[in-house]
C-alpha cells in the first residue's frame, strides 16, 4: 500500500532579519496508513514547521508533500481547502472558539461544509460522546479544564471524518495524568477509526506511549528514524542520544580511560541481574554509569551504560560475556569521552 503521507526533499526557508534561515532542509519521510507516527525534537528543531507543511499552513520553499497521493503544493486555494477537511489538526493551545459552546465548536467544521444544522448537531453530540464529554455540550470552553478542552478539540477534529490527524504538541500544556488520558484517547481513535496520526512532541514519553515509528528532527534535519523500539533502545545519532539521555551521560570524569558500552535489553526482562552475574561468573566489576528501563508496547526495554574495567583482558572478557546473553545487544560508545 502506498504511504498516506509522503514528504520528499522538503525545505523551508524563512527570512529572519533579512537573512535566510533554513527551518527544514531536505526532509523526506513516509507515513503509512493507520500508524501513529512520531516526530520528536528539541524546541527549534523544526517540528512545528514540518507538521504545518503537511496541511500547507506553511508553504514549503521546495520539495513535495503528498497526502493520499495528492500533491498539495500543486493545488489551487479552493482545492487545498477541500483537501484540508481530510487532514485535521489539534494544537497545544487547543484553539477552540471561545464564544461558542462545545457542541457549536464541534459543529463548526460541519457548518463550513454546509451540513444541515440538525445533522451537524447529531454528529457533534455523537463525537462528544466518543471523547466522553457529552454532558458538557452546552458549556463554553472557558468553563472546561485543559484536558476537557483538548477532548473537545479532538471531537472537532474528527467531525469531518479525517484520514489524518496532526497533533502539534497536543499534550504539552497538560499535566501527566491528563496527558496519559488524552494519549489513550488518541490511540483508541486510531484503533477504532483507523485515522492515521502524526504526533509532534518534545516529550519522549509521548512517543513511547503511543507511537510505532519515530523520526528525530534536529536543526531542520532528520537525525534518525525507525521504529520506536530501535531508535529509543539504541539511539545512533547525537541528537537521539541527547533525547534518550536528557540528563547527559553521568560520571564522565571518573572514567577517563575505560571503555564504555551501551547494553540494550530488547524485549526480554530488563531486570535480570546482569551485573551481578557478570561479577560472579567472570569476576569482572563493571561500573553502572546510567540505566533506564521503559515499558514499550507491553514489553520491557532498557538500556544501561556500563564502564568496563581499565584492564584490557578483563574488559574483553566482560564484553564477551554480555554479548552471549539472550535478548541483549551491546554497542561500544565511541564518543563517550568526547
Residues that bind other proteins (CB under 8 A): 55, 57, 80-85, 87-89, 91, 93, 95-101, 108-109, 111-112, 140-143, 160, 166
Q: Residues 52, 58: contact at Cβ < 8 Å?
A: yes
**For other proteins, the closer CB: 168 or 208:** 168
**For other proteins, the closer CB: 55 or 266:** 55
**For other proteins, the closer CB: 99 or 293:** 99
Closest CA to 263 of 335, 336, 330: 330
CB atoms within 10 A of CB 269: 11
Question: Which grid coordinates are listed for 254?
Answer: 571518573
Task: Spell out the residues 6+ positions from residue 95 whose beta carbon is closer than 8 angstroms to its own.
Answer: 153
**For other proteins, the closer CB: 111 or 181:** 111
Least separation in angstroms between CB 66 and other proteins: 18
**For other proteins, the closer CB: 160 or 201:** 160
Least separation in angstroms between CB 318 and other proteins: 54
Among the residues of 16-145, which ranges form H helices? 47-54, 77-84, 102-112, 117-130
Cα distances (angstroms) measured from residue 85 to each of 7, 160, 185: 19, 6, 21
**For other proteins, the closer CB: 81 or 323:** 81
Least separation in angstroms between CB 77 and other proteins: 8
Separation of alpha carbons 48 and 58, rounded Å: 10
Least separation in angstroms between CB 175 and other proteins: 19
Separation of alpha carbons 88 and 51, rounded Å: 11
Least separation in angstroms between CB 81 and other proteins: 4
Q: Residues 198, 5: contact at Cβ < 8 Å?
A: yes
Least separation in angstroms between CB 109 and other proteins: 5
Amino acid at each position: 500500500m502506498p504511504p498516506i503521507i509522503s514528504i520528499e526533499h522538503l525545505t523551508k526557508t524563512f527570512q529572519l532579519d533579512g537573512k535566510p534561515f533554513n527551518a527544514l532542509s531536505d526532509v523526506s519521510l513516509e507515513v503509512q496508513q493507520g500508524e501513529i507516527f512520531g516526530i520528536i525534537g528539541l524546541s527549534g528543531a523544526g517540528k512545528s514547521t514540518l507538521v504545518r507543511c503537511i496541511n500547507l499552513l506553511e508553504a514549503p520553499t521546495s520539495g513535495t508533500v503528498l497526502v493520499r497521493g495528492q500533491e498539495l503544493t500543486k493545488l489551487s486555494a479552493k482545492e487545498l481547502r477541500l483537501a484540508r477537511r481530510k487532514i485535521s489538526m489539534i494544537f497545544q493551545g487547543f484553539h477552540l472558539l471561545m464564544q461558542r459552546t462545545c457542541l457549536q465548536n464541534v459543529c463548526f467544521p460541519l457548518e463550513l461544509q454546509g451540513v444541515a444544522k440538525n445533522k451537524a448537531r447529531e454528529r457533534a453530540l455523537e463525537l462528544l460522546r466518543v471523547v466522553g464529554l457529552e454532558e458538557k455540550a452546552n458549556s463554553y470552553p472557558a468553563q472546561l479544564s485543559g484536558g476537557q478542552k483538548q477532548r473537545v478539540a479532538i471531537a472537532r477534529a474528527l467531525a469531518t471524518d479525517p484520514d489524518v490527524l496532526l497533533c502539534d504538541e497536543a499534550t504539552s500544556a497538560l499535566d501527566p495524568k491528563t496527558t496519559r488520558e488524552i494519549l489513550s484517547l488518541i490511540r483508541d481513535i486510531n484503533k477504532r477509526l483507523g485515522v492515521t496520526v502524526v504526533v509532534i512532541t518534545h516529550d519522549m514519553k509521548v512517543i513511547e506511549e503511543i507511537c510505532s515509528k519515530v523520526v528525530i528532527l534536529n536543526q531542520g534535519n532528520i537525525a534518525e528514524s525507525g521504529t520506536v523500539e530501535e531508535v529509543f533502545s539504541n539511539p545512533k545519532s547525537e541528537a537521539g542520544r541527547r533525547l534518550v539521555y536528557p540528563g547527559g551521560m553521568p560520571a564522565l570524569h571518573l572514567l577517563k580511560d575505560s571503555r564504555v558500552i551501551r547494553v540494550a535489553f530488547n524485549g526480554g526482562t530488563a531486570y535480570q541481574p546482569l551485573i551481578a552475574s557478570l561479577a560472579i561468573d567472570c569476576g569482572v566489576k563493571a561500573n553502572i554509569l546510567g540505566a533506564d528501563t521503559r515499558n514499550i508496547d507491553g514489553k520491557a526495554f532498557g538500556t544501561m551504560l556500563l564502564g568496563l574495567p581499565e584492564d584490557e583482558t578483563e574488559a574483553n572478557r566482560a564484553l564477551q560475556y554480555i554479548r552471549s546473553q539472550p535478548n541483549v545487544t551491546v554497542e561500544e560508545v565511541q564518543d563517550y569521552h568526547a
